[in-house]
Amino acid sequence: MFSSLENSMIFFPTKDIAVTPEAYGFAYEDVAFEAADGTALHGWWIPADDARGELLFFHGNAGNIGDRLESIAIFRRLGLTVFIIDYRGYGKSQGSPSEEGTYSDADGAWTYMTDTRGVTPERTVMFGRSLGAAVGARLAAKHDCAAVILESAFTSVPDMASSIFPLLPSGLFVRTSYDNRSLMKDIKAPLLIAHSRHDEIIPFSHGRELYELATDPKDFLEMKGGHNDGFIVSGSSYVDGLRAFLDRHLPTPGG
């Protein structure tokens, strides 16, 4: 019961996908695949013209893939084909979300990209925002890839609980971990951590701590704006920061 209650305070899935890439004029494929534990999942494969790589996109804890089209548009302009998935319980994916479940979902997405699509690690970029940064970090700690981008990431769920409820012993009642802090040393691919000083949900200090713990090569991109709109408010500085990072670790578009 307590696990179910805790999950309901962390995951806020929406089942109805209100907007598809078609609304942006993007060709796409509906993808049905399985998590590592066999749960039926759904995602979109959204190709970019003259793609220089493929980006595996892990979104945050609310909504579904239909809420991420503005981000997808940015990555396509940067020359990346996007594979975005819905975790179990989100959108058209089956099951109910949990920490271990999202890890299994990520493992299944990796298998789909590498085995079914034949994408090589040298062309793969892992991207995660907010809770998705924890899912992506765990996968990046297990597999080689060309680059990793973690945006608006927290150090761990217990740390977040402590910042929200400073008088409560969070270690005694929080069972979900998403321990990004312990994963930083195991990510060997070039890493970009992006965070805003004005993030009202996940403190800027979390992003800076993860950056300090990470191994080289690594970069830090300071954003503007709030937790959910920082990539929009930051505008060209955000896009230029992503482009500079990708240019160092991937071929230029069409190259």
Question: So which residues are the catalytic ones?
Answer: 130, 199, 227
Residue 114 per-residue DSSP state? I
Secondary structure of residue 4 in the 3-state scheme: helix
Q: In Å, how far are 5, 73, 117 from 234, measured between CA atoms?
A: 35, 15, 33
As given in the structure block, the two tokens for residue 204 are 């800027």
Which amino acid, 139?
L
As given in the structure block, the two tokens for residue 185 are 């040393």
Burial (CB count <10 Å: 0-12, 13-18, 19+), residue 192: buried
Contacts of 228 (CB under 8 A, 6+ apart): 60
Q: Which residues pair with 84 in a beta bridge?
A: 44, 57
As a three-state string, the secondary structure of 173-213 is HCCCCCCHHHHHHHCCCCEEEEEECCCCCCCHHHHHHHHHH
Burial (CB count <10 Å: 0-12, 13-18, 19+), residue 65: buried
Burial (CB count <10 Å: 0-12, 13-18, 19+), residue 9: exposed
As given in the structure block, the two tokens for residue 26 are 């993007």
Q: How far is CA 232 from the centre of its chain?
A: 16
Residue 68 per-residue DSSP state? -
